[in-house]
Each structure stands twice: as C-alpha cells, then as structure tokens.
Amino acid sequence: MPLIRDYGLNDSAAAEKFVSMALEEFDYIVDVLPGAWAEMEQNRASQRMASVRVSLLEYMSAAYAMQDIKIFQKTCDAFLAHGLTRSRAVVPTRAQLATDLALAISRGHMREARDTCARVLSGPKLADEESAAALCAYALAALVDLDYRRAEISATLLIQQCEAKKFSKFESTLHAHWAHAAEMIARRDDSMLDLHFQNIADTRRLHIDRELARWNKGQPTELSATDFWDWSSTALASIAQSFGYRFNTDGGRKFEFADNNWTEQAG
Amino acid sequence: MVTLSTEARNVIFAAKCAGTVVGAIYARAMEVCARHWEVLNPLSHTGLAPRSDTARQMLADATNVAAVRAAKEQAGVAAWLYRASALLGLDLSGSHLGTATRFEQTLYTGDRDQKGILRYLECGASYNVNEFLRVDIPGSHLPLIIAGEAKGGSGGYGWVSGPNDLLANELNVKAINQRDPAYALTRAAYMAKDGGTSAASVARREAGREIRRAFNQGNFMYLAVRGEIDGTTLSVEGEVFECR
C-alpha cells in the first residue's frame, strides 16, 4: 500500500492523484541527466542542470510517497552519481549541497556524504542571511563530522532566522522544528526527539492539506511533489538512529514523511 | 536566402539537441534568418496585420485604463507573434494561428496538430507564460519549444517569486525577472500541475509539461518581445534568451 495513505491527510485520493501526475510527467528524466551534466561541465551553464535536478527531486519524492522502490532507487542513485561536488565547472552553493548531502545520508551512502560534508564545512563562514537550506546543510554536515559545537551553532542560527520570520510562515515553522531536532541531537539529548519529528510531520501535513484544498478548487498552489518526501528530516532521522538515540519508540506512529528505514533499505 | 538560412539553422538545431553546439549559436542563426525574413515580410504584409490593426483601433477607441491596457496587451501579443514568425521564417498566422480557437469562455486560445498534439497556446491569465509554441524542425527528433512573454507599451519586465525548490535552493535567488529563461520554468511549474479536465486545463497542463521537458532536454527557447503602438505602426522589439 502506498505510504501516502498513511500520511493522515484530509484527502488522500487527491494527494495520490497529485503525486501520480509527477510520476507520469517525469518518466524520461533520468535519461536526460547525463546530457544536462555534460552541458554544464562544457559550458559552465547551470540553469538546465538546475531544472533537471528539481525534476529528479519531484520524481523521486513521488516515488517515495507511492513506495515505488525501483523508481526511487534509480532516480536517487542517478542524482547522487551526478552530485554537484563532482563538478569541475561550477561551484555549488550550500543550499544545493544540502540536497546532495541529505540524499546521500538518507540512502546510507556515507562515502558520498563525507565528500559533500567536507565541501559544506570548508565553504565561507556562516553569514547572518544564510538560506534555510544552507543552514540545514551545515548542521547535517557538522553532525556527520561529529562536530557538535558547529552543528549546534548552525541549528541555533536557523531557529533565530525562523523566529525573525526570515522565511515564509510554512518554512519558518517547519525549519524551526527541524532545527530544534538538530539542536537536540547536537546536545546528545534524545528526550524530545519524538516530539520535534512529530511537529515537523504535523507542519508538513497542514501545509499539504491547505495547498491540496486550493489545488482541488483549481486555484494556483505552491504544492509540489517534493512536499511529499522530507529528505532533510530523513537524513536527520538517519543520523539520530545511527547515534543510537531513543527514537520513534511509541510503536504505532511513524514519521511518514521521513522514513529513513525505507530509504536506507532501498539502498 | 531565407530558405538557405532556414536550412542551415535547422542543421544547427539538430546539433544543439545532440549537445554538440551551444544554444547561443542556434539563437544567432535564428537572428540571421529573421533579419532576411523581416525585410521580405513586413508586418503589414503578413497575416498578423489584422491583429496589429485591431490593437491600434482598440487603443484609439479606449476610454478608460482597462481598455488602454487591453489594447497594449493585444499589441504585445501581435508583436510577439510577428517576432516569432521572423525567427522561425514562417508566418504563424498561416500555420499555428490559422485554426487556433478560444477554449470556451476562458482566457486561453490554442491549437493542436493533426495528431492532436498541442502546438500553440496563448494564455491571458496569471501563473502562465503568455505564449507557447511547438514547432517541428526537419532533421531533428525533438521539436523546438518556444515560450515567451509579450509586453505591450513601455512597462518594464517584472520580478516574480516562484517554486522554492528551483529559485531559493538551486538558483540561489529569491525572485526571477521576466527576461530570464528560468522565468518560463517557474510559470510552467504552475501550469503543469493543473489537474482540471476542461480543454483549457488539459492544454495548460500539456504546455507546462512540454516547457519543463524541453528545458530539461535542451530544445527550449525563451522569447521576450515588446510591442508598442506608435501612431499608425506597431514597433517590435524582441530578445531571445538562452539558458545560462
């Protein structure tokens, strides 16, 4: 049964229809990746590659929600094989590396994860106006590197940015919960992890319900297939689990948007 | 000369799709073709002249701001279609526009080829590109997909926000200008997820998907054109933008 039916959404049928559209649209996307990569490397032109990367993420997120393991594996592996840390032509931003890093951790590809961590941590010093994705990348990289101090600093900075409402309301709420979870892991305290992960899932569920309702009425919506898989939280859950933290222990409840056991098993 | 430059241009398009030449070279080849075509086919001698005349008449008759705006938008669309015709070496009024019809009482006008594939869509509502064209190019297995923005009057190209996945995370920007090819990509994201079943919704979804696919495959071109009514003439000022 597709995982999406366990998301607890108000209208699961509409959600399935929405992500199925992404599966239908992007069935060609893995095949065009090498061409886009070659063009980026030859011409230092990155817009086409950016578009392909977003399409791949939509495709693999839809596959995650529908638990289509073959598509998920194929797409995720193709994405990582063309990770931006390998590029000789472009210098990826931390926000871009956030995706590559989270995917590598979520799939249990730790050699690729460590390469990406080195790039994230060796970049310029964290600025006050970092994007949420960049701060997530920094926190994840520091945790993989067992640098708890830097992980805590970036998580705290992300919380401050969210409290200052530097992002949209949805993003601020979501990333604040994520940063609290990252901060707990950095402090080696698992007492509230379940709550923070549940808050992340609740925020995402609320966002999808609201945007799906707009979509059902034919109104413009910010909803994307990428809303149906939280790779950043999956990576965080994977790290927490690898540290042996008490986690997801209440039996029946799962963190549906961030099932690291499934993504690692798919590896 | 137009025939020769068109044939040469088509060969370059096939090479662009194969990844052996950069898109900017194809855009330059189109410009060469357009220069010759425009000399032989001034706007007043094409099937687009009635559309341009309508815009001019609408402006002359306009008595309020909304009517002026509608006239200028009409001028922008006529200018875009003329510029696209020149770049393609093909009077679109005799091909794509000849059988185009408005979808019921909507702001969308479109046309499909004999196989039922969408080849033209004009969108009058927000969260869309203004224009979508699909053109088969001899010698290439991929069609050329052109999307664009038609501007009427002297208003500037605006900035829009859009899907975060693309703008904030991949392109490292908060908003994108209407002169940027990636602008079409952000509009296509809204178009592609239209889940409706009406003819307009189906066409809109198809156009959105085609733009994203063409951007991904490398057979995409973005065209921004400004058309301004100046006395009895319509001035056309267009630019082709390639992915960066």
| Interface confidence (ipTM) of the complex | 0.94
Confidence of residue B25 (pLDDT cuts 50, 70, 90): confident
Q: Check residue A250 and give its pLDDT.
A: 58
Task: Mark yes or no for CB contact B185/A43 under 8 Å.
Answer: no
Q: Work out the angle between the directed axes of helices A169-186 and A193-216 (0-180°, nearest 10).
A: 160
Task: Mark yes or no for CB contact B216/A221 under 8 Å.
Answer: no
Q: Is the dihedral of CA B141, B182, A56, A93 positive or negative?
A: positive
Residue B28 has pLDDT above 90, yes or no: no
Q: Check residue A124 and give its pLDDT.
A: 85
Chain A contacts of B170, Cβ < 8 Å?
50-51, 53-54, 95-96
Q: What is the average per-residue pLDDT within A156-174?
A: 94
Q: What is the average per-residue pLDDT within A151-155?
A: 96
Q: Check residue A267 and give its pLDDT.
A: 52
Domain count, chain A: 1
Which two three-digit tokens encode residue A101? 């890093």
CA B67 to chain CA mean position, Å = 23
Q: Check residue B243 and give its pLDDT.
A: 65
Helices (H), A26-46: 29-43
A:157-216 residues touching chain B, CB 8 A cutoff: 171, 215-216
Q: Check residue A242 and give its pLDDT.
A: 92
Q: What is the average per-residue pLDDT within B2-24?
A: 80
Location of structure tokens 């222990």: A249
Q: Check residue A248 and give its pLDDT.
A: 67
> Exposed, middle or buried: residue A160 (CB in 10 Å: 0-12, 13-18, 19+)?
middle
> Rounded to an integer, what distance in angstroms lies between the CA atom of residue A49 and that of residue A36?
5
Q: Work out the angle between the directed axes of helices A69-81 and A47-65 (0-180°, nearest 10).
A: 150
Q: Check residue B153 and give its pLDDT.
A: 81
**Beta bridge partner(s), residue B160:** B176
Q: Which domain holds residue A55?
A: 3-265
Q: Work out the angle between the directed axes of helices A231-242 and A169-186 (0-180°, nearest 10).
A: 10
Averaged confidence pLDDT in chain A? 92
**Beta bridge partner(s), residue B149:** B224
Task: Mark yes or no for CB contact A55/B209 under 8 Å.
Answer: no
CB A47 within 8 A of CB A74: no
> Rounded to an integer, what distance in angstroms lies between the CA atom of residue A149 and that of residue A139?
10
Q: What is the average per-residue pLDDT within A9-32?
A: 97
Measured between alpha carbons, how far apart are the two ends of chain A, in Å? Answer: 20
- What per-residue string of b and e applies to B163-175 under the rule 16 or more CB within 10 Å gives b? bbbbbbbbbbeee
> Rounded to an integer, what distance in angstroms lies between the CA atom of residue A47 and that of residue B242?
10
Task: Mark yes or no for CB contact A224/B189 under 8 Å.
Answer: yes
Location of structure tokens 């730790």: A110
Containing A237, the helix (H) or strand (E) segment is helix A231-242
In terms of average pLDDT, the best of A13-17, B60-64, B96-100, B227-231 is A13-17
> Exposed, middle or buried: residue B139 (CB in 10 Å: 0-12, 13-18, 19+)?
exposed
Q: Check residue A245 and give its pLDDT.
A: 87
- What per-residue string of b and e applies to B1-24 under the rule 16 or more CB within 10 Å gives b? ebeebbeebbbbbbbbbeeebbbe
CB B16 within 8 A of CB B29: no
Task: Mark yes or no for CB contact A50/B171 under 8 Å.
Answer: yes
Tell me the CB-side half-sphere exposure of residue B193, using CA atoms within 13 A.
31
Which chain B residues have any C-beta within 8 angstroms of a chain A C-beta? 19, 22, 126-127, 163-166, 168-172, 181-182, 185, 189-190, 192-196, 201, 209, 212-213, 215-218, 243-244
Instruction: State the nearest Cα–Cα gap between A186 and chain B, in angstroms.
Output: 24
Residue A249 has pLDDT above 80, yes or no: no
**CA distances from residue A64 to A23, A225, A264 in whole angstroms, order as listed:** 11, 10, 12
**CA distances from residue B122 to A37, A108, A238, B138, B180 in whole angstroms, order as listed:** 32, 47, 48, 25, 19
Q: What is the average per-residue pLDDT within B178-194?
A: 95
Instruction: State the nearest Cα–Cα gap between B175 and chain A, in angstroms.
Output: 13
Q: What is the average per-residue pLDDT within B226-233?
A: 83
Which two three-digit tokens encode residue A186? 């950095």
Q: Which domain holds residue B43?
A: 2-243
**Beta bridge partner(s), residue B223:** B148, B240
Q: Tell me how crowded residue B212 is: count the other CB atoms within 10 A of its CB.
A: 26
Confidence of residue A145 (pLDDT cuts 50, 70, 90): very high
Q: Check residue A266 and give its pLDDT.
A: 67
Q: Check residue A173 and give its pLDDT.
A: 97
Chain A contacts of B126, Cβ < 8 Å?
220
- pLDDT tens digit sequence for A95-142: 999 999 999 999 999 999 999 999 999 988 888 778 999 999 999 999
Residue A252 has pLDDT above 60, yes or no: no
Q: What is the average per-residue pLDDT within B205-230?
A: 94
Q: Check residue B37 and give its pLDDT.
A: 92
Residue B52 has pLDDT above 70, yes or no: yes
Task: Mark yes or no for CB contact A57/B163 under 8 Å.
Answer: no
Q: What is the average per-residue pLDDT within B150-167?
A: 87
In terms of average pLDDT, the best of A211-225, B50-64, B151-165 is A211-225
Residue A6 has pLDDT above 90, yes or no: no
Domain count, chain B: 1
B15 SS3 class: helix
Interface check for A29 against chain B (CB to CB < 8 A): the answer is yes
Residue B79 has pLDDT above 80, yes or no: yes
Chain B contacts of A218, Cβ < 8 Å?
194-196, 201
**Beta bridge partner(s), residue B240:** B223
In terms of average pLDDT, the best of A243-247, B13-17, B42-46 is B42-46
Tell me the CB-side half-sphere exposure of residue B163, using CA atoms within 13 A.
29
Q: Check residue A192 and give its pLDDT.
A: 87
Q: Check residue B113 and give its pLDDT.
A: 95
* Angle A61-A230-B205 from CA coordinates, rounded to 5°: 40
Of B192, B195, B244, the CB nearest to A25: B192
**Mutate: best of B169, B187, B194, B222, partner A, most A CBs <10 A:** B169
Residue A255 has pLDDT above 70, yes or no: yes
> Rounded to an integer, what distance in angstroms lies between the CA atom of residue B156 and that of residue B94?
31
